[in-house]
A and B are shown apart, each in its own frame.
Chain A
Amino acid sequence: MSDKANDFKSLDLTVGDVFSKEARLKARNVNVYYGDKKAIDNVTIDIGNKEVISFIGPSGCGKSTFLRCFNRMNDTIDICRIEGQITLDNENIYDSNIDVVPLRARIGMVFQKPNPFPKSIYDNVAYGPRIHGLCENKEHLDSVVEESLKRAGLWDEVNDRLLSPGTGLSGGQQQRLCIARAIAVSPEVILMDEPCSALDPIATAKIEELIHELGNEYSIVIVTHSMQQAARVSKRTAYFHLGKLIEVGKTKEIFTRPQHNQTEAYISGKIG
């Protein structure tokens, strides 16, 4: 045990395979600071094309912070500062000439708590296409809304009440509405920040199934507290600890044969 602990301290590099052959998003030596506090320490990772990857780790390990770097949501926090490089299709998203508006249209996000707009179900889904001017007429918009709701597995439940408020749906339905809203702008990557933490097991199962299906069309990065969920939905898993990316690998291997003692400790329930 003591040997392994010493081993860990001397290691500063991530264990496992951080790179991906078909990488869409590439993070290179990313550091994130909140004021003076370093929240993310030198993280390098690739997100592959049409790949579901989950970020796991104990609370406060920085996985959500890191997730929010991909669509620059951290920009809204004044004291947050980011170093390093994140590229989407080899284009640095932190470049000064990059506009966050089109970036966020390409990289959608689903939040921890379902947060539909206090508008109708239809308007919730139509909001993205409307502000980005994606649909030239009402029929087109209608079909986009329908398709998005279908992909999010919500169409059958709400097609008769599209004009009723989105906030009146159940928690699980709200979260699927948020997913529909995110995919309505045809993103390439969807970031999910603990999308099931506020939901009951049945709603969670539905969302997980949905993530599984969406994984065939989008790259999905999901932050989760539940190791079972990570095991169920993702092909790759990244384990974070105290702002460091400890280990990345195929989900199966991470959960069966973790290479790093920290990872092992976490998945066996010793820490976290």
Chain B
Amino acid sequence: MSKKFINPLEATELVKNSIKKRRAKDNRLRLYGRIAIGMATCFLLFLFFSIFTKGYPGFFQYYVTLDIKFDRERIDPKGDLSDTSLYEGEASNIVNESLFSIINPQGRKAKKEARKIVSSGKDLRIAKLVKNDPSLFGTVTKVKFALDDDIDSFLRGYINRDTPESERRISDNVIAFVDKLSQENRISYEFSDYILKGSASGNPEMAGIKGAFFGSILTLSVCLLIAFPLGVATAVYLEEIAKKNKITEIIEVNINNLAAVPSVVFGIMGLAIFISIFGMPRSIPLVGGMVLALMTLPTIIISSRAAIRAVPPSVRDAAYGIGASKLQVIFHHVIPLAMPGMLTGTIIGMAQALGETAPLLMIGMVAFIVDVPNSVMDPGTVLPVQIFMWADFAERMFIQKTSAAIIILLGFLITMNAFAIYLRKKLERRW
């Protein structure tokens, strides 16, 4: 007999010994896995905790309640409630008079400082009120006005009254006025109606994400309308129709490469082609959406191709076998079966596009735009760019607004993903 052969008893012993080692290895692997997941969860929780604790106050701000005498002749001198008439009116003065009657500022300097307590959007607020409800004229009504961002920061405790006056952003006078107002219970901390309904503004207390939100929706719509059909068509062509040869191989390699190209490069390309060559305007969601579509195309194509490849060949055989034409096979069988996978890829692409800033900076969507875009041809900005801009501003209040906007962006993203999962499940569940 050969010497190399193992005795069965020895073999049992050897297996027993080796099992200990193997078990230890298994356990170690499990431990590493748990550590990794634990760390990832910690980071995630920390991220969410910090965003929500910082961002939550961003949804609230301080308001002051004042008794406003709605004098038609002063607010609406022409009496037709038109924008020019309301603009010519002296609503700001009425608000200031009401404020002065409470805090009673003495001297030119104190009066000048007192005028700044109420946010500069006060006249717009009055204009809006009387436009919605002209019956206010002739009455004296309590109206809430946003406080200036410095006062807001002071009330939140970011500005300390013990700091020497010269190093503070607000003077002793103003602190005294604010104290007086709080004594009279005129200051309240409430859900901000600017963060959701306001647009870009230099005054942080009036800044909101409405413009950016609609900009994002318009941009993403353009992106989806371009990238989804193009991506799916490309994937279908490459998988089902094109012959496998050198050219398709080169195309394939290039698509895979494009998926890894930094997004800012697409921005530069958009600037060079859409804006410089085709002469399209800057800052519009149409160009933004086109650039983002180029960026998301590779993702959609790659995942769609994978989804198409996963359609069992037996289904194609069955359809061809019964005499379906290529088009019928593709539209009746391949695309419906691949749709859940295609949608997943599209949503991943869209989520990427939603969070993208760099390429949009290149095509000028970083401009300061107050108006909400009504169409894809109106200049606008998008949520991540708005966040980027706010993060850059010096005023303390923008920090909370930035965090609040991040929460909104995350909410948007989660809603989108949830919708995608729902859609996928619904399509999959059919069979």
**CA separation between A206 and B315, bound complex, in Å?**
24
B333 engages A117 (CB within 8 Å): yes
**A101 contacts B by Cβ under 8 Å:** yes
A104 engages B321 (CB within 8 Å): yes
**B93 contacts A by Cβ under 8 Å:** no
- Nearest CB in chain B: distance from A80 CB, A: 13
B323 engages A132 (CB within 8 Å): yes
**A94 contacts B by Cβ under 8 Å:** no
**A33 contacts B by Cβ under 8 Å:** no
B431 engages A165 (CB within 8 Å): yes
B323 engages A115 (CB within 8 Å): no
B318 contact set on A, CB distance < 8 A? 111, 115-117, 178, 181
Closest to A168 in B: B431
**B243 contacts A by Cβ under 8 Å:** yes
B314 engages A113 (CB within 8 Å): yes
**B324 contacts A by Cβ under 8 Å:** yes
Summarize A's interface: helix, strand, loop or mixed. helix
A185 engages B323 (CB within 8 Å): yes
**B147 contacts A by Cβ under 8 Å:** no
B323 engages A181 (CB within 8 Å): no
Interchain CB contact (< 8 A) of A108 among B319, B322, B430: B322
**8 Å CB contacts to A: which residues of B308-329?**
312, 314-325, 328
The segment out of A10-18, A70-78, A81-89, A137-145 that lies at the interface is A70-78
A104 engages B320 (CB within 8 Å): yes
**A105 contacts B by Cβ under 8 Å:** yes
**8 Å CB contacts to B: which residues of A101-150?**
101-105, 108-109, 111, 113, 115-119, 127-128, 131-132
B337 contact set on A, CB distance < 8 A? 118
**A207 contacts B by Cβ under 8 Å:** no
Interchain CB contact (< 8 A) of B314 among A104, A105, A111, A132: A111
Closest to B333 in A: A117
Given contacts A78-B243, A167-B431, contact A118 B315 (CB under 8 A): yes
Closest to A104 in B: B323
Given contacts A78-B243, A117-B333, A118-B431, contact A128 B317 (CB under 8 A): no
**CA separation between A105 and B315, bound complex, in Å?**
17
**CA separation between A132 and B333, bound complex, in Å?**
16
**B244 contacts A by Cβ under 8 Å:** yes
Interchain CB contact (< 8 A) of B321 among A71, A119, A132: A71
**CA separation between A198 and B264, bound complex, in Å?**
54
Interchain CB contact (< 8 A) of A182 among B244, B316, B321, B333: B321
B243 contact set on A, CB distance < 8 A? 78
B324 contact set on A, CB distance < 8 A? 101, 127, 131
Closest to B318 in A: A115
Closest to A129 in B: B322
Bitwise, B403-431 to A at CB < 8 A (1) or not (0) is 00000000000000000000000000011
Closest to B317 in A: A111
**8 Å CB contacts to B: which residues of A34-90?**
71, 73, 76, 78
**CA separation between A104 and B314, bound complex, in Å?**
16
A116 contact set on B, CB distance < 8 A? 318
**8 Å CB contacts to A: which residues of B298-354?**
312, 314-325, 328, 332-333, 337
**CA separation between A101 and B324, bound complex, in Å?**
6
A115 engages B314 (CB within 8 Å): yes
**CA separation between A30 and B109, bound complex, in Å?**
106
B322 contact set on A, CB distance < 8 A? 104-105, 108-109, 127-128, 131, 181-182, 185
- Nearest CB in chain B: distance from A195 CB, A: 12
Closest to A184 in B: B322
A73 engages B323 (CB within 8 Å): no
**CA separation between A181 and B320, bound complex, in Å?**
12
**CA separation between A113 and B314, bound complex, in Å?**
8
B328 contact set on A, CB distance < 8 A? 131
- Nearest CB in chain A: distance from B413 CB, A: 32
**8 Å CB contacts to B: which residues of A145-178?**
165, 167, 178
A132 contact set on B, CB distance < 8 A? 323
- Nearest CB in chain B: distance from A263 CB, A: 30
**CA separation between A182 and B317, bound complex, in Å?**
12
**CA separation between A108 and B243, bound complex, in Å?**
26
Report which residue of A78, A102, A115 has the largest number of chain B beta carbons within 10 angstroms of its beta carbon: A115
Bitwise, B229-267 to A at CB < 8 A (1) or not (0) is 000000000000001100000000000000000000000
- Nearest CB in chain A: distance from B320 CB, A: 6
- Nearest CB in chain A: distance from B119 CB, A: 60
- Nearest CB in chain B: distance from A41 CB, A: 25
**CA separation between A105 and B323, bound complex, in Å?**
5
A-B contacts, 12 listed (Cβ < 8 Å): A103-B323, A104-B320, A104-B322, A105-B322, A109-B322, A111-B317, A115-B314, A127-B324, A128-B322, A128-B323, A181-B322, A185-B322
Interface residues of B (CB under 8 A from A): 243-244, 312, 314-325, 328, 332-333, 337, 430-431
